[in-house]
Amino acid sequence: MNLRKWYRIFYRVFYRKLNPLKYAQKIGVNFTEGVTGVNLYGNIEWSTEPWIITLGKNVHITDGVKFITHDGGTLVFRDRVPDLEITKPITVGDNVYIGNNVIILPGVSIGSNVVIGAGAIVSRSIPDNSLAVGVAKRRSENWCKFHGRSNGCKFVW
């Protein structure tokens, strides 16, 4: 194995864990305000199209988070429709915390001031000022209710 191949293996396996922010920049993840205030922790999976993922400012993404920008179910129909591929962007607003092992599916837009609890599956967009927990189609507590505020409360289904 030549040196270049070893470097590629090291970069893919270890560097993305050692410096996830630089790795995200290198593979093409978009940042609305640059990387200032963006904190990435541990092993984050950016899917096969990282350039259609956009992160806002003051975003915290923890270990095991998966961004899935494509619908892999279309592979079943590749013999009939060779060019069939469905990809949708993922957008994360400002002041967002995403807990461990969250899965974010294609076409999701996460608003600003949002907390997503560990292990959640995000299949629909989340409005601003929300707290989202659990798996898809499960009612979640609202950010405003969580902080004891009554005005501007929204629920995420």
Domain range summary for the chain, segments of one domain joined by +:
3-146
What span, in angstroms and rounded, lies between the C-alpha atoms of 103 and 130?
Answer: 17
pLDDT confidence tier of residue 36, bands split at 50, 70 and 90: confident
Residues that are catalytic: 70
What span, in angstroms and rounded, lies between the C-alpha atoms of 134 and 122?
Answer: 9
pLDDT confidence tier of residue 56, bands split at 50, 70 and 90: very high
Which letter, b or e, does each residue of 50-63 get, where b requires 16 or more Cβ atoms within 10 Å of its Cβ?
bebbebbbbbebbe
Q: Which residues contact 21 (CB under 8 A, 6 or more apart)?
A: 35, 38, 39, 40
pLDDT for 8 equals: 75
Q: Which two tokens stand for residue 141?
A: 């507590």
CATH architecture of the domain formed by 3-146: 3 Solenoid (2.160)
pLDDT for 79 equals: 80
DSSP helix/strand/coil, 32: strand
CB atoms within 10 A of CB 83: 6
**pLDDT > 70: what percent of the chain?**
82
pLDDT for 137 equals: 42
What span, in angstroms and rounded, lies between the C-alpha atoms of 156 and 29?
Answer: 26
What span, in angstroms and rounded, lies between the C-alpha atoms of 20 and 40?
Answer: 6
